[in-house]
Amino acid sequence: MLSFILRRLASAVPTLFIVVTISFFLMRFAPGGPFNLERPLPPATMENIMRTYQLDQPLWRQYLTYIGNAVQGDFGPSYIYKDNTVAELIGKGLPYSIELGFYALLLALIGGVTLGTIAALRQNSVLDFSIMTLATMGTTIPNFVVGPVLTLIFAILLALLPAGGWGDGSFSFLLLPMIALALPQLAVFARLTRGSMIEALHADHIRTARAYGLPARIVVITHAMRGAMLPVVSYLAPCAAALMTGSAVVETIFTIPGVGRYFVLGALNRDYTLVMGTVVLIAIFVIVFNLLVDLLYGLLDPRVRHD
Amino acid sequence: MTDIATDPASTPPQSTSRSLFQLAAIRFRRNKAAMGGCVMLVLIALFSYLGPLFVPHSYDQVFSSYVTVAPSLEPRPDEASLEGAMQGVATRARVNLDAFEVTGQIFSATISAEDPIDPRTTRYFDRANEFDDTKVVATEKDGRVLKVEGNVSREYFLFGTDPNGRDLLARVMLGGQISIAVGVLASLVSLGIGVLYGATAGYLGGRVDNVMMRFVEILYSLPFVFLVVVLVVFFGRSFILIFLVIGAVEWLDMARIVRGQTLALKRREFVGAAQALGLSDWQIIRRHIIPNTIGPVIVFVTVVVPKVILLESFLSFLGLGVQAPLTSWGALISEGANNIQSAPWLLIFPSIFFVATLFSLNFIGDGLRDALDPKDR
Amino acid sequence: MSSRLMRAAAVALLGSTLLAGAPAFAETVLHRGNSGEPQTLDQAQTSINIEAFILKDLYEGLTIYDAAGKIVPGAAESWKVSEDGLTYTFKLRENAKWSDGSPVTAQDFEFSFKRVEDPKTAAKYANILYPIKNAEMVNTGKADPKELGIKSVDDKTFEITLERPTPFFLELLAHQTALPVSKASLEKNGADFVKPGTMVSNGAFQLVSHVPNDSLVVQKNPNFWDAANVKLDKVIFYPIDDQAASVRRFEAKEMDLVYNFSADQIERLRSAYKDQVHVSPTLATYYYVFDGREAPFNDVRVRQALSMAVDRDFLAKKIYSGSQLPAYSLVPPGMANYGEPAKADFAELSQLDREDKAIELMKEAGYGEGGKPLNIEVRYNTNPNHERVATAVADMWKNTFGAKVTMSNLDVSSHYAYLQEGGKFNVARAGWVADYADPENFLALNLSTNKTFNYGHYESKEFDDLMKKSYAETDPAARSKIMHEAETILMRDQPIAPFLTQADLWLVSDHIKGWQDNAANEHLSRFLSVSE
């Protein structure tokens, strides 16, 4: 087990290196640079800027410099938000994204699994139908619609909750963005849980156990749940990584100061260093969560072995 | 010799698979919700693909008199707004409106000015979407007063119009054509790659799995916006590219899920039995692994379809995807989301069709799962 | 981990100021929406108005814009201009102080201006100060910063020598690039001088805290020379790039001011918020460029015809809900030293007559119905408004000439990079917002020597010569006349088709007092107050 974890962590180094290398050259193939704006800069100014940021150097040298600095933990200054280094920007935004993403994940996971289980136990009932309708709406209606609608109702019409911002970080500020962020994922979890719960409840050993008269609830929790959680856990890794690195859409709609916006804004602004920071960030989250999930597989189903 | 040896081995699975398929088809047809979903989907497809034949307005036709008008079952212009429209025409033509009257489809108006009026002024009337076929019927006071007559041209905008004065009904139909195509094709691409990749990685395991999953992690992390922008630079805007780009990112979750299922499945008795029978890895993956992952796979497909349809509108933002004035449901919905308060119909109509389509797909998906599930026969 | 800590900090900083109607706090706070996150708070690096709004609250230049958008004395209480218009002598206010209590000196300004022109600083708006003697030479590395034409005569007297008379120089000095930095602070703190807790400023406010993408808080600077007349205790800037989101926060009464919202919201907002909706025309022009390098757009008749066929009233009234004005000249109206700009000759015709003439011209050129087929691709950067304009224009060209018009959008970086690197095109969208209120700022875009800005590669010796003449002319009236001639030529040749004069859209809560719309779009918080 320990050697498995160590091997996986060791393999993260080449993964990160490949990601950084591909991303570096991919970005430079894209037209435009961080200083191609609607208002073009005079050539002399452009020259000064290119020299200052060493963008006038050959690409391979820029690459080597970048790798050299990155290895030492220096991800450079942001080209757009010039008063800050990339590390500062991400360091300031990440706690907000993680906090919001973590609550959203909890809501999605607990809510989704609970609703999915209830639906499976009451298969084809009105309750099942209602839950699945909600789940379908959740996956279908995009959060750029859910977000504004929630704000209109709760912040403007009823004036119960703030329309946006992080404020003092209290629950009232987090509630709406959390719901907008969690809803689509909650729906996915509910659907996955319901599907595999129904399968698991039909399995022979569960039928047998039920026939013996054990209270259904215990059977469900001890036997069915375990096997049924597999697809939920598989989806957990990408979902958790996505939620905790922030969502550009939800952060923009609710004006949350997280890092999610940097994924899109950074790219649109051609802020090479900032984008690279986000690339490394998401890579780390994906690698770590995938590792955790692979470990969880072994706990849920002893048949899954790590060799 | 080889013929004889292979024949008995290969025929039975074929015959069983065919009967299995038939069995599944029968069970699927008995599923009322699934069949309802199919009917609904066919209706929406007919609406999108054949509907434009029955709508007199094209998707890119601009009605400058009807910018952002609300949906209505009544034809436009209504009686009340005709007078105002005529006044607007007179102002633009720089003449005074002395009298205006509508009887049925015909209008008559008297206009006057300080100087003789150029008879070509009638073009100002025809120019407005409300009036048509305007003629001068009488000239008075050396041409300083004109009497004109013409038809009132009435248009139906059942879904209202967008902020460019285009018929939303025609645009929702067009959006359906594109979104249904993108949704189906891109989901199939991601389904195909994801299932095969995940099953292969999970079944082979070990070093192969490790390398394949690291590759998935790399793809997760690449900056998507740049990927799209670079592809547009090299290949230009093309419809095929949409599927490739969407397929390239949306199969990753699918692959993780299928791999997770496979890891558990490959330790099950029936896989061991198949191995003992000497089936090749590929045969086992195809006949035993993939069919047993069908439950979560179908659930996940129904999640991927709305995702790719909405992703398409983000691609058009970056210059890939469909080019305006073409549109898609994703683009219409995001445009509508910006106008929730001022013009809610821009959001409501495309959303209704989008949601109805997805509901149908969900019912069909559930029906397919029940029909195809190998454990459930 | 540190989220609890950050929360505590956020509570301490923002307090209950966010919760509207908490009367426990006696201080008056202005909740000011800003249309995005400032990229920098360094006056040498700044380039956008988002930063200007903040920086001009923090710092005070030699001249400033008052609430009505007029140039008035700022850190300088008075100035003298020499006969030949080449030497400006500024007398700084005796009581002008930095927020740390030290006096604002001529040396600070000298240091700041040299810093901006030093090529090592790589200032984006270094060209704002190019009228100063040797500034361009210094900025391009051809002269030492010491040779810049500025001098501290004594602590409170600052002298500037110009390259040539520049009638709009006092306006340039009110630009955020010309704001002073504290020499002492910068030498002590280096690049960190922009950070909260470190920043020393000489304006009405001082920086308290800054959480990127959340809020930037400034509070009244007690050392400001006119602090007695500053009515606000605190201003919170909210950087919100999503226009719909900022409108929602205004509607939820979380913000008092919102800058820029989507034009299609105007009618709804007007009916709900009446005169809290402010639309003020600004010095900015929305136009299409024709690629003059290739047929058919190298034919002046084709360009004229296409330009005439565009119904600008429709664009202004229907597409932009009246929030923009139809434009027939590149230079927007409202420049004091220019007066009425030189419009295209078809501006006087009615739209129908324009179309008749356009069809005639197009026929002469041999295109359109009965002639060679006319295929036009309109390029624009992705944006709902630009898409709507392109859609409407495409429809007009299609209906008037039977042209086949296609549209093509790219994200903003790709779009402008393509144009600036000389990519070929048919018709492309562009726009220009004045850096300073002078027509030269607009006209110079079309000089044949202007490789980056002249997207359509317009080449006219006549135009170039007139512009050259205008640079040499010192008499303001004569200069204005020459530039009118140049613009007439430009509007005759239509290398660009101006469509709209843009407007700034503001939502101003009705408990904000002291607000005045102005074309300069200058609204210093120190002139505003909040009433209950």
User: Does a structural domain hold residue B348?
Assistant: yes
C77 pLDDT above the threshold of 80? yes
Domain that holds residue B46: 36-51+160-370
Distances (CA, A) of B74 to B125, B160, B195: 22, 11, 51
B114 vs A222: which has the higher pLDDT: B114
Give the model confidence (pLDDT) of A279-306 as tens digits.
999 999 999 999 998 888 888 777 666 5
Does a cis peptide bond (omega within 30 degrees of 0) precede residue B344?
A: no
- CB of A178 closer than 8 Å to CB of A251: no
> HSE on the CB side for C252, CA within 13 Å?
27
* Alpha-carbon torsion (B97, B99, B102, B105), positive or negative: negative
Residue C132 contacts residue C126 (beta carbons within 8 Å): no
Selected for mutation to probe chain C from A29, A45, A52 (highest C CB count within 10 Å) is: A45
Check: CB of residue C113 under 8 Å from CB of residue C148.
yes
pLDDT over 50 (residue B7): no
pLDDT at C323 over 80: yes
Domain count, chain B: 2
Closest residue to A26, CB basis, from B226, B306, B336: B226
The type of residue at A282 is I
Residue B46 lies in a domain: yes
**Touching B: which chains, 3+ CB pairs < 8 A?**
A, C
Q: Which residue, B252, B282, B274, is CA-closest to B374?
A: B274
End position of a domain, from candidates B87, B122, B150 = B150
pLDDT tens per residue, range A34-56:
887 767 777 888 888 888 888 88
The answer to whether residue A64 sits within a structural domain is no
Same domain, B118 and B255: no
Helix (H) or strand (E) holding C352: helix C351-365
CB C403 within 8 A of CB C368: yes
Q: What gap in Å lies between CA C299 and CA C293, rounded to an integer?
A: 10
> What CATH number corresponds to the domain at position A230?
1.10.3720.10
Closest C-alpha among A142, A136, A244 to residue A194: A136
Sign of CA dihedral B353, B359, B361, B363: negative
- Do B209 and B311 belong to one domain? yes
For B86-128, the pLDDT digits (tens) are 888 887 777 888 888 887 788 888 888 888 887 777 777 787 7
Shortest Cα–Cα distance, B268 to chain A (Å)? 8
Residue A9 lies in a domain: no
Chain C positions in Cβ-Cβ contact with residue A49 (cut-off 8 Å):
122, 124
Instruction: Please tell me the distance from the alpha carbon of residue C73 to that of residue C60, in angstroms, as a whole number.
Output: 10
B101 within a domain of the structure (yes/no): yes
Q: Is C474 on the interface with A (CB under 8 A)?
A: no
Cα-based torsion angle of the residue sequence B259, B261, B267, B268 in order, rounded to the nearest 10 degrees: -150
User: Confidence class of residue B18 from pLDDT cuts 50, 70 and 90?
Assistant: low
Q: Which residues pair with B155 in a beta bridge?
A: B76
Inform me whether the C-beta atom of residue C319 falls under 8 Å from chain B C-beta atoms. yes
Lowest mean pLDDT segment, chosen from B83-97, B291-305, C63-77, C171-185: B83-97
**Averaged pLDDT, B337-344:** 87
Q: For residue B255, is pLDDT > 70?
A: yes
In tens, the pLDDT along C198-256 reads 999 999 999 999 999 999 999 999 999 999 999 999 999 999 888 888 999 999 999 99
- Determine which helix (DSSP H) or strand (DSSP E) holds C410, and give its type and residue range: strand C404-410
**pLDDT mean across residues, chain A:** 86
Q: Helix or strand or coil: residue B252?
A: helix
- Residue B42: what pLDDT? 94
Range scoring the smallest mean pLDDT among A6-20, B93-107, C257-271, C349-363: B93-107
| Mean pLDDT for chain C overall | 88
- What residues pair up with C496 in beta bridges, in sequence order? C289
Q: What is the CATH number of the domain that holds B327?
A: 1.10.3720.10
Q: Chain C contacts of B323, Cβ < 8 Å?
A: 406-409
For residue B350 the two structure tokens come to 């495309």
Asked whether residue B270 falls in the same domain as residue B201, the answer is yes
User: What is the arithmetic mean of pLDDT over C289-301?
Assistant: 91
CA distances from B283 to A20, B16, B48, C1 (A): 38, 15, 41, 50
* d(CA C228, nearest CA chain A) in Å: 30
- In chain C, whose CA is at the least distance from the CA of B326? C407
pLDDT at A213: 66
- The total number of structural domains in chain A stands at 1
Query: Which amino acid is present at C70?
Result: K
Q: How far is A136 from chain B (nearest CA, A)?
A: 7
Question: Which of A172-181, B138-147, C488-497 bottoms out in mean pLDDT, i.e. has the lowest?
Answer: B138-147
Evaluate if residue B15 carries a pLDDT over 90. no
What average pLDDT does range A100-116 have in this prediction? 94
* Token duo for residue B94: 């720089």
Which residues in chain C are closer than 8 Å to A159, comparing Cβ atoms? 252-253
- Compute the nearest-CA separation of C382 from chain B (Å): 6
Q: Check pLDDT > 80 for residue C317.
A: yes
pLDDT at B19 (0 to 100): 65
In C188-227, the residues whose Cβ lies within 8 Å of chain A are 191, 194-195, 211-215
Average pLDDT over residues B367-374: 77
Peptide bond into B306 cis (omega under 30): no
Same domain? For B196 and B217 the reply is: yes
**Tokens at C110, concatenated:** 């000298």
CA distance A194 to C455: 59
Q: What is the pLDDT of residue B368?
A: 85
From B332, which residue of chain C is nearest by alpha-carbon distance?
C384
In this structure, is residue B240 part of a structural domain?
A: yes
Q: What is the ipTM of this complex?
A: 0.87
* Contact call for residues B298 and B369 (beta carbons, < 8 A): yes
C406 with B94: Cβ contact below 8 A: no
> A248: Cβ–Cβ under 8 A, 6 or more apart, which residues?
A260, A261, A263, A264, A265
Please report whether residue A55 resides in a domain: no
- pLDDT per residue over A178-217, tens digit each? 999 999 999 999 988 988 888 887 776 666 766 666 666 6
Instruction: Name the minimum distance, in Å, from the CA of A50 to any CA of chain B.
Output: 21
Whether residue B22 is contained in a domain is answered as: no
Residue C122 has pLDDT above 70, yes or no: yes
Predicted local confidence at residue C412, as pLDDT = 82
Domain final residue pick, B105, B127, B150? B150
pLDDT digits (tens, 9 = 90+) for A262-274: 988 888 888 899 9
| Min Cα separation A124/chain B (Å) | 11
| Any domain includes A202 | yes
Of A49, A81, A166, the CB nearest to C10: A166
Q: Chain B: which residues have CB within 8 Å of chain C?
A: 60-62, 64, 67-68, 92-94, 120, 123-124, 127, 163-166, 229, 232-233, 237, 316-319, 323-325, 335, 338-339, 341-343
Asked whether the beta carbons of A206 and A221 are under 8 A apart, the reply is no
Cβ-based neighbour number of residue A144 at 10 Å: 21
The enclosing domain of B87 has a CATH number of 3.30.1360
Q: What is the mean pLDDT of residues C271-278?
A: 92
Give chain B positions within 8 Å (CB) of A279.
221-223
Does A2 fall in a domain? no
pLDDT band at B173 (very low <50, low <70, confident <90, very high): very high
Pair B233, B104 in one domain? no
- Percent helix, strand and coil across chain C, each to the nearest 5: 40, 20, 40
B184 and B224 co-located in one domain: yes
Question: Within 13 A of B187's CA, how many CA atoms are on the CB side?
Answer: 23
Asked if B176 and B145 sit in the same domain, the reply is no
Residues B226 and B336 both lie in one domain:
yes
Q: What is the pLDDT of residues C279-294, one digit of tens each?
A: 988 899 999 999 999 8
Q: Is C3 on the interface with A (CB under 8 A)?
A: yes
State the pLDDT confidence band at C18, using cuts at 50, 70 and 90.
very low
Count contacts between A and C (CB, < 8 Å).
173
Report the range of poorest mean pLDDT among B37-46, B235-244, C318-327.
B235-244
- Residues with Cβ within 8 Å of A137's Cβ and at least 6 positions away in sequence, in order, are A187, B355
- Give per-residue pLDDT as tens, C463-483: 999 998 988 787 888 989 999
Question: What is the domain range of residue A88?
Answer: 84-302
User: In this structure, are B132 and B168 located in the same domain?
Assistant: no
Cβ–Cβ of B124/C352 closer than 8 Å? Answer: yes
The pair of structure tokens assigned to A180 is 């907008």
Residues B183 and B327 occupy one common structural domain: yes
**Mean predicted confidence (pLDDT) in B353-375:** 84
Q: Is residue A212 part of a domain?
A: yes
A68 inside domain = no
Which residue, B124, B150, B176, sits at the end of a domain? B150
Q: Kindly indicate the confidence band of residue B5, based on its pLDDT and cuts at 50, 70 and 90.
A: very low
Å from A42 to nearest chain C CA? Answer: 8
Is residue C527's pLDDT more than 90?
A: yes
